[in-house]
């Protein structure tokens, strides 16, 4: 099948999805002889809509096989494995999706024809959920704490709510991909599929001059004498919709809804979005252009028309006003607050921060202020006067706060804060009844009589464990559980 045929069928299938005709769209996609990674991805999404998880898994396999760096395909296959309760494979795919992000906060697939942004914090959120399903609550908490470094304002509640659930050892909801969104073909290529009539239709032209027997080109028309000497009003001065802007940099579109412009073009901004993209009109065509590529332009009749390229300004910048150094300002602030009986409490957490509360405040005031700063429940936090939260160093509701405030010096107090970690379940160990040797690198080989520590239960027939420094899976029938007091 040629590229043009593939492109035509791809566009037809996406059009069917827009018309809510998913079965017909799936039929057209499946008829494509050699699908690319994006088409395989679309097929998988449509199978997920039909809840055909086997077919969806195979489609996403094909997408990843065609493009092993397509993070969103790993993300979708991870969701498919999750729905099939194959948690180990699901965790592996979410991990691969996170690696494909390469430390970035998100991947915007708009340039590839998919209106979707894959956020790193959402991938880590799903990884934490899988760890929770496997009983690895500490790993789940670490993934969510890592997600806090990547989260945006729109994802603020998502991560915090999940973290609260983990602290209570409760599961939470999976972040899913909106399966109605699909990769779309480049509209510029699709437009080339339509037949064009470059000659047009013939028109009969009649002369408007009486007794004109000339046939062919129209005769010369009399010129206007004594006409106005002022130049014709420039096109850009006409009353047009939107606000005029001048293009500063060349922009080459990557999708069909973007518009190509070059420096010096005059465009009219119809709407500016919060994502820094502006909808503009240029030469009768509408499209999207980055707003930071544009500069507002005054083209009112009273404005002066710039003549040529002006010389850049040569004036030196104004002398900056003298400012008090930051450290001095902080010291002044601390002194002022100390005079007002305020104490600066420095908190050592996964990151350091400071709060200001009245000297001699109760434990409840202190913990409420810290939990408000961290946006976490007060019951999930442990305060202490030393890095090791143990013994008399722990600060709680029963602590004599006078002894705590006695440690403050010059209006400063240092406190350590940790997240409460639930007590770990007792370790389960097995004794090997038989020797198990396997050439599979994922398996755990051991000798008869070896002690094996249980890490997780895969299913009723297979377990995951650690023997010495080696970890892997092994058949449950080869071992016997040791008594708890053994």
Whether residue 349 sits in one domain with residue 270: no
- 154 within domain boundaries: yes
Whether residue 109 sits in one domain with residue 14: yes
Residue 299 binned pLDDT confidence (cut-offs 50, 70, 90): low
pLDDT digits (tens, 9 = 90+) for 369-399: 998 888 888 888 899 999 888 888 899 988 9
What pLDDT sits at residue 87? 93
- CATH code for the domain in which residue 273 is found: 2.30.30.40
Kindly calculate the radius of gyration of the chain based on its CA atoms and give it in whole angstroms: 34
Give the residue with greater pLDDT, 410 vs 128.
128
- 197 within domain boundaries: no
CA angle 184, 186, 192 (to 5 degrees): 130
Whether residue 373 sits in one domain with residue 277: no
pLDDT digits (tens, 9 = 90+) for 310-363: 444 333 433 333 434 444 544 455 455 445 578 989 998 888 888 989 988 999
| 0.85 exceeded by pTM | no
Whether residue 83 sits in one domain with residue 27: yes
Alpha-carbon distance of 468 to 451, in angstroms, equals: 8
Mean pLDDT of the chain: 80
Residue 483 binned pLDDT confidence (cut-offs 50, 70, 90): confident
Whether residue 26 sits in one domain with residue 149: yes
- 181 within domain boundaries: no
What pLDDT sits at residue 423? 66
Task: Check whether 234 has a pLDDT greater than 50.
Answer: no
- 76 within domain boundaries: yes
Chosen domain end from 371, 388, 419: 419
Which range is least confidently modeled, 135-144, 265-274, 415-424? Answer: 415-424
Chosen domain end from 384, 419, 454: 419
Which range is least confidently modeled, 158-162, 225-229, 382-386, 462-466? Answer: 225-229
Whether residue 140 sits in one domain with residue 87: yes
Whether residue 340 sits in one domain with residue 255: no
Tell me the range of 53-57, 188-192, 283-287 where mean pLDDT is highest. 53-57
Which range is least confidently modeled, 84-88, 89-93, 217-221, 263-267? Answer: 217-221
- 201 within domain boundaries: no
What pLDDT sits at residue 64? 93
- 224 within domain boundaries: no
Chosen domain end from 116, 145, 167: 167
Whether residue 405 sits in one domain with residue 453: no
What pLDDT sits at residue 326? 42
Whether residue 414 sits in one domain with residue 373: yes
In this prediction, residues 93-118 reach a mean pLDDT of 89
pLDDT digits (tens, 9 = 90+) for 175-202: 998 867 899 988 777 766 655 555 555 5
Alpha-carbon distance of 396 to 392, in angstroms, equals: 10
Whether residue 9 sits in one domain with residue 106: yes
- 301 within domain boundaries: no
- CATH code for the domain in which residue 343 is found: 3.10.20.90
Whether residue 410 sits in one domain with residue 333: yes
Domain housing 355: 328-419
What pLDDT sits at residue 161? 87
pLDDT digits (tens, 9 = 90+) for 431-454: 999 999 887 778 899 999 999 999
**Structural domains counted in the chain:** 4
Alpha-carbon distance of 340 to 348, in angstroms, equals: 24
- 177 within domain boundaries: no
List the beta strands (DSSP E) in 411-469: 412-419, 429-432, 451-457, 462-467
Whether residue 9 sits in one domain with residue 64: yes
Alpha-carbon distance of 434 to 29, in angstroms, equals: 52
Residues in the chain: 486
């Amino acid at each position: 099948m040629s590229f043009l045929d593939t492109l035509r069928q791809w566009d037809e299938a996406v059009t069917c999805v827009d018309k809510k005709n998913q079965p017909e769209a799936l039929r057209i996609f499946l008829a494509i002889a050699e699908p690319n990674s994006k088409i395989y991805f679309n097929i998988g999404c449509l199978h997920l809509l039909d809840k055909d998880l086997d077919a969806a898994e195979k489609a996403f396999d094909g997408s990843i096989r065609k493009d092993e760096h397509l993070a969103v395909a790993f993300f979708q296959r991870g969701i498919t494995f999750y729905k099939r309760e194959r948690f180990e494979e699901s965790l592996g795919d979410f991990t691969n999706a996170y690696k494909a992000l390469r430390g970035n906060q998100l991947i915007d697939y708009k340039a590839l024809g998919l209106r979707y942004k894959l956020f790193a914090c959402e991938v880590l959120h799903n990884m934490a959920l899988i760890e929770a399903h496997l009983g690895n609550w500490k790993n789940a908490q670490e993934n969510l704490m890592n997600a806090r470094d990547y989260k945006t304002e729109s994802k603020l509640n998502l991560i915090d709510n999940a973290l609260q659930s983990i602290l209570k050892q409760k599961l939470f909801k999976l972040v899913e991909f909106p399966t109605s969104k699909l990769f779309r073909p480049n509209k510029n290529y699709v437009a080339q599929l339509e037949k064009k009539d470059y000659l047009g239709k013939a028109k009969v032209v009649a002369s408007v001059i009486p007794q004109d027997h000339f046939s062919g080109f129209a005769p010369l028309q009399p010129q206007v004498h004594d006409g106005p000497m002022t130049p014709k009003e420039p096109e850009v001065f006409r009353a047009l919709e939107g606000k005029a802007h001048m293009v500063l940099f060349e922009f080459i579109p990557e999708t069909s809804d973007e518009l190509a412009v070059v420096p010096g073009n005059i465009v009219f901004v119809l709407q500016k979005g919060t994502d820094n993209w502006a909808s503009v009109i240029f030469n009768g065509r509408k499209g999207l252009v980055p707003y930071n590529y544009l500069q507002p332009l005054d083209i009112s009749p009273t404005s002066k028309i710039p003549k040529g390229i002006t010389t850049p300004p040569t004036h030196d910048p104004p002398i900056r006003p003298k400012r008090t150094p930051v450290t001095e300002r902080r010291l002044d602030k601390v002194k002022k607050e100390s005079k007002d009986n305020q104490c600066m409490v420095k908190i050592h957490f996964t990151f350091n921060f400071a709060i200001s509360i009245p000297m001699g405040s109760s434990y409840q005031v202190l913990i409420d202020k810290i939990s408000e700063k961290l946006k976490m429940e007060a019951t999930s936090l442990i305060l202490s006067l030393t890095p090791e939260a143990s013994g008399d160093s722990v600060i709680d509701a029963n602590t004599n706060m006078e002894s705590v405030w006695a440690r403050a010096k010059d209006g400063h107090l240092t406190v350590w804060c940790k997240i409460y970690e639930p007590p770990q379940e007792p370790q389960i160990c097995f004794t090997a009844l038989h020797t198990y040797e396997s050439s599979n690198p994922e398996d755990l080989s051991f000798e008869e009589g070896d002690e094996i520590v249980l890490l997780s239960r895969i299913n009723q027939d297979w377990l995951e464990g650690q023997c010495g420094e080696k970890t892997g899976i092994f058949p449950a029938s080869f071992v016997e559980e040791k008594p708890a007091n053994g």
